[in-house]
Amino acid sequence: MTDRVLGPWCPGGLALSVGGSQVLGLSCVIITGVWMEHYRGGFAWDGSSLEFNMHPLCMVLGLVFLYGDAILASRVFRNEGKSTIKVLHTTLHLGALVISVVGLVAVFSFHAGAKMADMYSLHSWCGILTLLLYCVQWLMGLGFHLFPGASARLRSRYLPLHDFFGLAVLGLAVASCLLGISEKLLFDIAPTYPNFAPEGILANALGLLLVGFGVLVGYTVTQEDFRRPLNPEEEALSVHFKTLTGEESVTAPDRPFQNPLFLAAH
- Mean of pLDDT values over 163-171: 94
User: What does the pLDDT read at residue 230?
Assistant: 65
Rounded mean pLDDT of the chain? 84
Distance CA 199, CA 149 (A): 54
Establish if 6 belongs to a structural domain: no
Domain count, the chain: 1
In the predicted model, is pLDDT for residue 239 greater than 60?
Answer: no
Establish if 4 belongs to a structural domain: no
Distance CA 77, CA 30 (A): 25
Establish if 111 belongs to a structural domain: yes
- Mean of pLDDT values over 109-123: 96
- Mean of pLDDT values over 71-82: 85
Residues 6+ apart with CB under 8 A from 206: 28, 31, 32, 35, 181
The residue segments making up the domain with residue 232 are 20-264
For residues 85 and 108, the model is more confident at 108
User: What does the pLDDT read at residue 150?
Assistant: 59
Establish if 11 belongs to a structural domain: no
Establish if 42 belongs to a structural domain: yes
Question: What are the counts of helices (DSSP H) followed by strands (DSSP E) for the chain?
Answer: 9, 0
Establish if 49 belongs to a structural domain: yes
User: What does the pLDDT read at residue 144?
Assistant: 75
Report the half-sphere exposure of 178 (CA within 13 A, side-chain side).
15
Distance CA 77, CA 168 (A): 23
Query: pLDDT over 70 for what percent of the chain?
Result: 79
Q: Where does residue 177 rank: exposed (0-12), middle (13-18), buried (19+ CB within 10 A)?
A: buried
- Mean of pLDDT values over 69-87: 85
Report the half-sphere exposure of 151 (CA within 13 A, side-chain side).
4
Is 65 in contact with 212 (CB distance < 8 Å)? no
- Mean of pLDDT values over 250-264: 39
User: What does the pLDDT read at residue 140?
Assistant: 87
- The CA distances from residue 55 to 42, 43, 200, 226, in Å, are 12, 10, 18, 34
- The CA distances from residue 121 to 36, 124, 190, 265, in Å, are 21, 5, 17, 41
The DSSP code for 43 is -
In the predicted model, is pLDDT for residue 255 greater than 70?
Answer: no
User: What does the pLDDT read at residue 154?
Assistant: 75
Establish if 13 belongs to a structural domain: no
For residues 242 and 124, the model is more confident at 124
In the predicted model, is pLDDT for residue 168 greater than 60?
Answer: yes
Domain containing residue 141: CATH number: 1.20.120.1770
User: What does the pLDDT read at residue 158?
Assistant: 78
- Mean of pLDDT values over 192-204: 98
- Mean of pLDDT values over 119-130: 97
pLDDT class for 141, splitting at 50, 70, 90?
confident
* Integer-rounded Cα radius of gyration of the chain: 21
Establish if 5 belongs to a structural domain: no
Is 155 in contact with 259 (CB distance < 8 Å)? no
pTM here is 0.83
Query: pLDDT over 90 for what percent of the chain?
Result: 63
Out of 45-54, 99-108, 160-169, pick the least confident.
160-169
Distance CA 144, CA 131 (A): 20
pLDDT class for 153, splitting at 50, 70, 90?
confident
